[in-house]
Amino acid sequence: MIPVVMTAYNRLSTLKKTLDSLFECDGFDKDRLSFYLDGGKNNKDWESLNAVHAYLEEINPNINMAAENLGLKANSLKAINHSLILYDKIIFIQDDQEFSKDFLTYMDWALNEFEDRQDIMFASGYSHIDFPTCYLSPLIADGLGIWREKFSYAENCRTIDYKGFAKATTPSFASYLRDIINGKSDAFMALLCYQMYMSNARCLHPGKNKVRYMVSDSTNCKQKDREKLNNKLYDETIVNESNLAYNIIRETKNYKWSKLKRFTRWLNTRVIH
């Protein structure tokens, strides 16, 4: 069983919904689950966190609780890095997500199937668009499969190729990366996207969406962005066409780090059977 690593904070009601969804996944076993709970900013936070900790202990006592507030980025990277010392691959999730019934089935398959593909750095359970088979993307989304041997991130880079990154993706995404590096944003996924860019690697996504944000409770999703999210979940896994899609996309210029809009437009018009 591939370990499932979850980060959490002080949102008990949202956390319960996330875990209820995870419990319904095929192949779920509480022994494969561990928690990384961030510390509080004030006394009120710590009261809520103590309640979260007590709830999680009933499920699995494998809880790493920070002594102080680290923030989303630092706590997430701590969870990933620490877990990859213990395991050669993990499934990383957060406390404001819901999953399809076959989320774990798909993630287990992807992490085993593509372990030796050096040009695939991550595997995601999220599909940016409803596409009839798996595809590769220069963006990372949620429900993230990570291999120890492939994982690294750009947080400690002294120089960042913002211009090259902007040309390969979008100027706004490069600006977002700059805010993260400069401590103005607490998100961290753009760091992982930058590492993919530097390695000319990609993230594998399913053709049918397996994970979504609970946007009604999420503090990480702005209201204006909510309608853009793919909030449909599918319990059907299409894995037999994955290699075909991988090879077709690789043979096109879109496999390289070309403009993100061009890549997405190509995906929307391409039909793979």
| Each residue's pLDDT tens digit, 189-200 | 888 888 888 888
DSSP state string for 156-213: T-SS--HHHHHHHS-HHHHHHHHHHHTTS----HHHHHHHHHHHT-EEEE-SS--EEE
Per-residue pLDDT, 217: 42
CATH no. of 4-269: 3.90.550.10
How far is the C-alpha of 221 from the C-alpha of 94, rounded, in Å? Answer: 13
Per-residue pLDDT, 71: 92
User: Residue ranges of the domains in the chain?
Assistant: 4-269
Per-residue pLDDT, 235: 67
Per-residue pLDDT, 132: 47
Q: What does pTM read for this prediction?
A: 0.83
Residue of 141, 133, 169, 131 whose CA lies nearest to 260: 169
Per-residue pLDDT, 250: 55
Per-residue pLDDT, 156: 67
Task: Please list the ranges in the chain whose pLDDT falls under 50.
Answer: 132-133, 216-228, 230, 240-241, 245, 248, 252-255, 257-261, 264, 266-267, 270-273
Per-residue pLDDT, 223: 47
Identity of residue 214:
M
Per-residue pLDDT, 226: 47
Q: Please, what is the Cα angle at 165 between 164 and 167, to 5 degrees?
A: 65
